[in-house]
């Protein structure tokens, strides 16, 4: 059951990712990316990492992508804007080639083995993995955690400075 | 005031006349600006308020332009008359009284009088692409057949002055209306926006113009009264009053004391229900639903009283030249007394719902402030003028109709 | 998993879903009735006793209305978005516990569809997804009013989601769990007593998240006609309409669970207490709608970012300090 679900969600994720690149309408692309995020979240659930799954949806799908969509809608980007860089055929060819490579890698035994190696037993052994994540974040990985937050803070300040410069 | 006028302006005036207790001065077109400026600036005159400006087609190839002036300081009125031949330009007084801007546009639109030096002389009431001047006597009452619906539908243009000023700036020009969910009726406003803040607005007001003056010209004095109801259907009786007072003044009619009292009573009831509509719909427009329904409950009571008085609920046409149409039934007076004594309580409730409501205050405070000087210059009157901090109430300062009688004593919580 | 357990789980899901839809239908009746009486009107009277059949009449009416897809609309998204909104609103109810358990033929049946470890986060995740429905509805219907409504909705919901999330952290700190049943179990004293400011912020944000007055800017009828769903008709419109009420019910249920002690209460059975608390919250929603005008857009944003957000942060700090001092 778990195996089938993995292939289902994984397949949806990969297909949506490809669609995201191929779609000419920016809103459609953004939505495909949302589907990728949601199916990733479902993969996390399969791994027993429910907390990560929820956070994935709330942060990436719920906040960041909504902002993306917001900007796309606000600017009312037309489909032509995107196809300026590469010609349409070249663009499709490149993206197809890239996806093919990705699929090869995925299908390659190594990837599968690696996925199997970290199979459920390791993570889902802990019943409330919210607690496990929290403990790791605030003990073993405290320094990277704090560094990340300082980085984000710097980004916020930078954004404020840029946005404040109007006149 | 007559003496003051002659001492200060003596040599500039062609004539000073007094009729029906109203002062009129006649000046020559070339003297107009000098006289106007003196009327406004001379301390002893201080006619700072332009109430109205109208054009009159005198038929014999001539126009007369009448300026109605008000001096709040000396509590008196005067009107200037200037006679010009057709095709002759008159200097614009918009630089002296900014209120003249729209009035002159109206005279230009409806009569074809041109004003030299007007900041933006263009049509104001008739639609874009209209030709001809409807208030001229030779213009047919039922409209010019050449001006059919299709001919009237000219090109709709964005307002040129705003667009020209903002060329190159980051401001956005936005057209709002004539059909918009927040306009009650049809009103078009051309807005200039800086982000979300409106920095300039040009209203296009002609969408509801019906040419009442033209209609009235072809009727007898009594027939005009129902037209007056429809000028502002929220306060029909007050418009009736204004009209019948003018006719009575011209004819020199004195009305019975009881009629005067009834007029005041009904006008004030009308005023209450008119303000209730305004306040209620305003509250609804910013999202407060309930006050409107409470206010309509009270308005309904007033409309019921109307019905008791004269049968109709909206367009009453109850005031007549020389008095009122009929005496009121006794039950009306009982009812009015009961309503009025209970109304103070209702006002307290409206205060609690709106003026004590933090969100309502946030939405309204500091928005669209008009200073006292601006209000006078732009000819703002009534509650709008008082809201700008000017203590001016015609009923108190220049009483008319029954408002000069001893039994009229306005009660007011706090203002000035 | 035994066949019986699967059957029970399925039955629970179906029953809860049907009950939710019924509650949605009758909360429209409740709103119209309560609002009517608050505004010296009667509300629905004609269909059934005290207008009790009105929601059904409305449902039938909406069902038979012409289903219009506007020209120039992005058809796929136009049809998809009401579904997203409705699914997100209804799926959230799955993790809300209505009561403890009941005995049916010796079988313990817990009164919740799923007892999820991260129940609270699950609701937040779903509500963050429902933004898509509203935003896309506005975008795909090829109308300016709808687009503005959609933009307003997305900006508003993102802004207030943060404060909502922060407002309940205090509760989570007290309960030490994200599982709704644990949170209810922890409330020997209701968390509204321990977390009054958190509750206040939560309720304010709930109004904003549900697009309810005084934060009903996305559908301000005097400015945007009805905003994002202006171009929708028939059942698609009905889905938006139902989703709004479903969202309100979910948020009320969440407030009852997090702050008002969930199903716990003396004498009466748990499920009755729970319903009473949800009803009280719904009544409060309607009451506020009858009382307050709408915020202006910039004021709404300022209020969210400059008042609610910092106060919610401060609340967490104070809660933390309090917990360290008093254990």
Q: What tens digit of pLDDT does each residue of B75-97 get?
A: 889 999 999 988 888 999 988 99
- Contact (CB<8Å) B286/C294: yes
Which residues, other chains included, contact B65 with Cβ-Cβ below 8 Å and sequence gap of 6+?
A: B53, B54, B55, B56, B81, B82, B84, B90, B107, B113
> At CB < 8 Å, which residues of chain C contact B?
35, 38-41, 213-214, 216, 220-225, 289-299
- Contact (CB<8Å) B287/C35: no
What is the count of residue pairs from A and C with beta carbons less than 8 Å apart? 76
| Token representation of residue C300 | 């709404």
Q: Which structural domains are found in chain B, ordered by start?
A: 2-135 (3.30.460.80), 160-208 (no CATH), 212-367 (1.10.645.10)
What's the whole-number mean pLDDT along residues C166-194? 84
**Site of tokens 């107009």:** B32
What's the whole-number mean pLDDT along residues B271-287? 88
* Nearest-CB residue to C291 (from B181, B285, B290): B290
Are C295 and C215 in contact by the 8 Å Cβ rule? The answer is: yes
State whether residue B287 sits within 8 Å of chain C by CB.
yes
| Token representation of residue A17 | 């990712």
CA distance C304 to chain B (A): 14
State whether residue C60 sits within 8 Å of chain A by CB.
no
Among A61-70, B145-154, C67-76, C161-170, which is the least confidently predicted range? B145-154
State whether residue B59 sits within 8 Å of chain C by CB.
no
d(CA A91, CA A78): 17
Other beta carbons less than 10 A from residue B364's beta carbon: 16
Residue A102, pLDDT > 90, answer: no
| C321/B151: higher pLDDT | C321
What is the average pLDDT score of chain C?
Answer: 84
pLDDT of residue A76: 66
| C139/A124: higher pLDDT | C139
Q: State the first-to-last Cα distance of chain A, in angstroms, to the nearest integer.
A: 60
Which residues, other chains included, contact A36 with Cβ-Cβ below 8 Å and sequence gap of 6+?
A: A13, A16, A17, A20
Residue A98 parent element (H or E): helix A88-107
Residue A122, pLDDT > 50, answer: no
Give the residue extent of every domain in chain C: 69-326
Residue B79 parent element (H or E): strand B76-85
d(CA A135, CA A128): 11
d(CA B271, CA B393): 14
What's the whole-number mean pLDDT along residues B260-282? 89
**Site of tokens 């033209």:** B214
By percentage, how much of chain C surpasses pLDDT 70? Answer: 98
d(CA C164, CA A58): 13
pLDDT of residue B282: 87
Confidence of residue A107 (pLDDT cuts 50, 70, 90): low
pLDDT of residue A128: 55
d(CA B386, CA B381): 8
d(CA C314, CA A100): 51
Could you please report the per-residue DSSP string of C58-126?
A: HHHHHHHS-----TT--HHHHHHHHHHHHHHHHHGGGG----SEEEETTEEEESSS---TTHHHHHHHH
Please tell me the class of the A2-125 domain.
Answer: mainly alpha
Contacts of A163 in chain C (CB under 8 A): none
> Neighbours of C (≥3 Cβ pairs closer than 8 A)?
A, B
Of the ranges A22-31, B352-361, C137-146, the best mean pLDDT one: B352-361
Residue C110, pLDDT > 80, answer: no
Which residues, other chains included, contact C107 with Cβ-Cβ below 8 Å and sequence gap of 6+?
A: C4, C8
Kindly identify which residue of chain B lies nearest to residue C295, measuring between CA atoms.
B359
| A118/C170: higher pLDDT | C170
Kindly identify which residue of chain B lies nearest to residue C37, measuring between CA atoms.
B290
Residue C132, pLDDT > 80, answer: yes
State whether residue C155 sits within 8 Å of chain A by CB.
yes
Residue B116 parent element (H or E): strand B115-116
What is the average pLDDT score of chain B?
Answer: 84
Q: State the first-to-last Cα distance of chain B, in angstroms, to the nearest integer.
A: 27
Q: What tens digit of pLDDT does each residue of C17-34 get?
A: 888 888 898 898 998 899
d(CA B57, CA C316): 77
Q: What tens digit of pLDDT does each residue of C243-285 get?
A: 889 989 989 998 988 888 878 778 778 788 888 889 999 999 9
């Amino acid at each position: 059951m778990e195996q089938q679900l993995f292939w289902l969600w994984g397949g949806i994720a990969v297909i949506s990712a490809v669609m995201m690149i191929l779609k000419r309408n920016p809103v459609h692309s953004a939505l495909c990316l949302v589907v990728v995020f949601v199916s990733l979240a479902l993969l996390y659930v399969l791994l027993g990492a429910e907390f990560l799954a929820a956070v994935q949806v709330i942060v990436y799908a719920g906040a960041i992508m909504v902002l993306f969509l917001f900007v796309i809608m606000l600017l009312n980007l037309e489909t032509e804007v995107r196809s300026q860089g590469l010609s349409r055929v070249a663009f499709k060819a490149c993206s197809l080639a890239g996806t093919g490579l990705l699929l090869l890698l995925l299908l390659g035994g190594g990837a599968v083995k690696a996925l199997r190696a970290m199979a459920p037993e390791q993570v889902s052994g802990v019943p409330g993995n919210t607690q496990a994540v929290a403990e790791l974040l605030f003990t073993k990985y405290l320094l990277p955690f704090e560094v990340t937050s300082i980085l984000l803070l710097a980004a916020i300040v930078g954004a404020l400075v840029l946005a404040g410069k109007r006149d | 005031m007559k003496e003051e006028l002659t001492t200060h302006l003596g040599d500039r005036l062609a004539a000073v006349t007094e009729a029906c207790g109203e002062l009129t001065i006649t000046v020559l077109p070339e003297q107009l600006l000098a006289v106007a400026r003196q009327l406004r600036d001379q301390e002893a005159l201080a006619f700072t308020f332009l109430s109205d400006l109208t054009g009159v087609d005198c038929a014999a190839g001539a126009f007369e332009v009448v300026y109605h002036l008000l001096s709040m300081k000396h509590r008196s009125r005067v009107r200037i008359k200037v006679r010009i031949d057709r095709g002759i330009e008159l200097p614009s007084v918009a630089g002296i009284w900014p209120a003249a801007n729209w009035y002159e546009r109206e005279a230009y639109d409806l009569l074809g009088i041109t004003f030299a030096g007007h900041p933006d002389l263009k049509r104001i009431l008739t639609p874009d692409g209209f030709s001809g001047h409807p208030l001229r006597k030779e213009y047919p009452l039922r409209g010019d057949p050449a001006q059919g619906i299709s001919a009237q539908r000219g090109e709709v243009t964005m307002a040129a002055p705003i667009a020209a000023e903002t060329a190159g700036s980051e401001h956005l020009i936005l057209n709002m209306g004539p059909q918009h969910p927040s306009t009650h009726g049809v009103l078009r406003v051309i807005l200039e926006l800086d982000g979300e803040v409106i920095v300039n607005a040009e209203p296009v007001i002609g969408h509801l113009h019906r040419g009442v003056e033209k209609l009235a010209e072809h009727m007898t004095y009594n027939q005009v009264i129902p037209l007056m109801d429809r000028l502002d259907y929220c306060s029909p009786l007050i418009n009736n009053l204004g009209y019948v007072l003018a006719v009575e003044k011209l004819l020199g009619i004195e009305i019975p004391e009881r009629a005067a009292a009834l007029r005041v009573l009904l006008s004030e009831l009308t005023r209450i229900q008119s303000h209730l509509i305004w306040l209620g719909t305003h509250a609804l427009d910013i999202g407060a639903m309930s006050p409107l329904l409470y206010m309509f409950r009270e308005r309904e009571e007033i409309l019921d009283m109307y019905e008791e008085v004269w049968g109709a609920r909206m367009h009453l046409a109850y005031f007549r030249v020389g008095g009122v149409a009929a005496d009121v039934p006794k039950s009306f007076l009982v009812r009015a007394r009961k309503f009025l004594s209970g109304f103070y309580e209702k006002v307290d409730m409206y205060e609690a719902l709106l003026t004590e409501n933090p969100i309502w205050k946030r939405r309204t405070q500091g928005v669209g402030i008009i200073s006292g000087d601006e209000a006078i210059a732009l000819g703002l009157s009534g509650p709008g003028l008082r809201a700008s901090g000017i203590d001016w109430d015609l009923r108190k300062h220049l009483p008319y109709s029954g408002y000069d009688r001893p039994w009229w004593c306005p009660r007011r919580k706090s203002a000035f | 998993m035994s066949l019986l357990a699967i059957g029970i789980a399925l039955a629970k899901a179906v029953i809860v879903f049907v009950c939710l839809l019924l509650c949605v239908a009758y909360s429209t009746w409740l709103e119209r009735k309560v609002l009517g009486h608050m505004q010296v009107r009667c509300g629905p009277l004609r269909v059934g006793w005290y207008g009790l059949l009105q929601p059904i009449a409305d449902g039938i009416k909406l069902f038979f209305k012409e289903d219009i897809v506007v020209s120039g609309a992005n058809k796929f998204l136009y049809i998809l978005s009401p579904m997203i909104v409705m699914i997100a609103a209804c799926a959230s109810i799955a993790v809300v516990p209505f009561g403890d358990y009941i005995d049916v033929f010796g079988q313990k049946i817990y009164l919740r569809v799923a007892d999820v470890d991260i129940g609270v986060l699950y609701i937040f995740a779903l509500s963050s997804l429902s933004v898509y429905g509203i935003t896309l509805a506005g975008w795909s219907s090829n109308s300016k009013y709808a687009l503005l409504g959609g933009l307003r909705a997305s900006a508003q919901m993102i802004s207030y989601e943060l404060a909502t999330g922060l407002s309940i952290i205090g509760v989570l700190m007290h309960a030490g769990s994200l599982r709704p049943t644990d949170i209810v179990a922890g409330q020997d004293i209701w968390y509204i007593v321990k977390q009054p400011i958190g509750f206040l912020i939560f309720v304010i944000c709930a109004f904003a998240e549900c697009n309810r007055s005084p934060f009903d800017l996305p559908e301000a009828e005097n400015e945007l006609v009805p905003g994002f769903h202006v171009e929708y008709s028939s059942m698609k419109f009905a889905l938006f309409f139902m989703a709004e009420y479903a969202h309100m019910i979910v948020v009320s249920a969440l407030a009852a669970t997090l702050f008002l002690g969930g199903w716990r209460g003396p004498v009466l059975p748990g499920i009755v207490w729970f319903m009473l608390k949800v009803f009280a919250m719904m009544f409060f929603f309607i009451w506020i709608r009858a009382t307050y005008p709408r915020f202006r857009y910039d004021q709404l944003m300022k209020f969210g970012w400059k008042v609610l957000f910092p106060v919610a942060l401060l609340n967490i700090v104070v809660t933390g300090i309090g917990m360290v001092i008093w254990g």
